[in-house]
Amino acid sequence: MGDLSRYVILRDRNADLRKRITGEAFGEAPGMAGVLGEAAGPRLGAAISTMLPPGPELDSADLTANEAKDAMRQGDVVGVVRSIPTALIVPKATAADAAATDTWGIGAVRADASPFTGAGVRVAVLDTGIDAAHPAFAGMTLVQQDYTGEGDGDGNGHGTHCAGTIFGRDVNGQRIGVARGVSEAFIGKVLNAEGSGSSEMMFSALKRASEERVQVISMSLGFDFPGLVKLLIEEEDFPADLATWIALEGFRTNLAMFNALMNMIRQQAVFDGGTVVIAASGNESRREIHPNYEVGASVPAVAEGCIAVGALQQGAAGLRIADFSNTNPDIAAPGVGVLSARAGGGLVALSGTSMACPHVAGLAALWWEATRAGALPANAGTVSMRLLSSATVAGIAPGVQVADRGQGLAQAPLSPIG
């Protein structure tokens, strides 16, 4: 997935009008939303969204470095970045995988005790695709978009497993899904069967997900910095030091692009309530070698507006952080010996922050439904706040550091909000 002449261009052609609508442009008087009052917000947002779908516009093109600089001078351009490799957050093989006989995570996050199912909530899964014929997704409306060139489907199995944990139906009497009432999902295939993709694919899928008006986005992937360095050295014959610097620039600029894109998506909350973005924190830590062998949460999990998820595993003294789970997540969830849908049929257990992330994505769907049933504003801000603030440290083993588990073990709502 390495074409170093490929650039992604982000534009915002509705910025001025959006600011006037929300009363933010040039310090002027409150816009329409402010004049009509907060109570009119949902009606106003629905009306405006039929007149002007706001949001980002993405283009991609093969450019020289000078052409990329020229593109940045265009008035509506927010960013121009070289497309860089992305990679699957690869599951880690553990003894718990072979021993798994049930979905212990469902009970750990209290999804089995929640009266909510995620009904009416739209979810997006940006991953390796999905096996749409699997019984776990029977009766669902799945909108699929392939960005890899392979076509729909899941030649890897990772995306199918993650989707099963988020909203999978029971398989042969075994519950696997946190939010079994979700009936509509957007499946963005941004990683191929080998688990490789590009930032262009990821940005395009994020834009499409926002156009699909999803309320939750789940991502278990990351920018592939080592892969980019390798590409520059092996295919472009760059010396190692120069390759590292160029890769660092690509990493930095793509993070800035991701933040800009996410900010534009968040600005759409005035129209549709917004989107909660959940991302896996990464599996690069090696605590089994030494307790201090820890790596910070990866990108995009640490990007502005994302909820980064760490992985917990069962232990004799309670739940503990998985050896591989990167540090500094916002929240944690079950991520070892997680039983879910296997591409081609049946179930399989996998371990990784990739498995923890869909637990929280499913919980976010439950919190959306609970918020809509209560008195508080049903928007991404409220859902994110309640999701994070409801996390618990009960059941977590003594000595687990805040930096490793974040707010604590994610929990499902047990009643309407407010």
User: Does the annotation count 102 as an active-site position?
Assistant: no
Ramachandran region, residue 34 (left: φ > 0; alpha: ψ -120 to 50; beta: rest): alpha
All residues at 6 or more sequence positions from 314 whose CB lies less than 8 Å from its CB, including other chains: 96, 104, 336, 337
Beta strand 6-11 with 77-82 is antiparallel
Which tokens in the block code for residue 48?
């405006």
Single out the catalytic residue among 114, 131, 158, 161.
Answer: 158
E strand or H helix at 331:
strand 331-334
State the Cα angle at 277 between 334 and 34, rounded to 5°: 140
What is residue 168's DSSP assignment? P
Closest alpha carbon to 340 in 221, 222, 220, 223:
220
Single out the catalytic residue among 127, 154, 272, 330.
Answer: 127
All residues at 6 or more sequence positions from 1 whose CB lies less than 8 Å from its CB, including other chains: 85, 86, 192, 196, 197, 198, 201
One-letter amino acid at 27 equals: G
Single out the catalytic residue among 83, 198, 199, 354.
Answer: 354
**3-class SS of residue 310:** strand
Q: Which residues pair with 89 in a beta bridge?
A: none
User: Does the annotation count 354 as an active-site position?
Assistant: yes
User: Does the annotation count 290 as an active-site position?
Assistant: no
Active site residues: 127, 158, 354
